[in-house]
Amino acid sequence: MQALEEKISKATGVPIYEIKGRSRVALVCEARMAVWFIAKKHLGLGFSQIGRYYGRDHATIISGVSKIEFGKIDQRIINAINEVLKEDLTRSLPEQPASIQIMTLRERRENAKRLGITLNRYLEATFS
């Protein structure tokens, strides 16, 4: 979780102590929610696990992850999430074949909408 916080901190410019803290400044909250989103969707951690780590209720984590999924956040945060996911994906591949296309969160959301399913279900189908 610390490595993820460092990556989001670097991508957003929000200090790690702020991400771990209780600040309610919009950019800080959204950076924190970005960590929660990646921890849930890409690391497979449970809402309760994430909540315990941050000293918050699981319902707070669910709410934060939902805000990310529905794009109710600053574009800088979306760009940071995409940057972190792209970096991790490309690092895990020895060579990136030309046929692999890294999609932005916005593109994934549009595809899910076009298919008539939730973003959550789309991501589960894509990454499982």
pLDDT in tens, 38-93: 999 888 899 999 999 999 999 999 999 999 888 888 888 888 888 888 876 555 44
Which DSSP string corresponds to 68-127? Answer: HHTT-S-HHHHHHHHHHHHHHHHHHSSS--TT--PPPHHHHHHHHHHHTS-HHHHHHHHH
- pLDDT digit string (tens) for 97-108? 444 455 677 777
Closest to 28 measured CA to CA, from 46, 15, 44: 15
Going from N- to C-terminal start, the domains of the chain cover 2-92
- The pLDDT tens digits for 9-30 are 999 999 999 999 999 999 999 9
Nearest to 68 by CA among 34, 35, 109: 34
**Burial category of 39 from C-beta neighbours within 10 Å (exposed 0-12, middle 13-18, buried 19 and up):** buried
Q: Write down the CATH number for the domain with range 2-92.
A: 1.10.1750.10
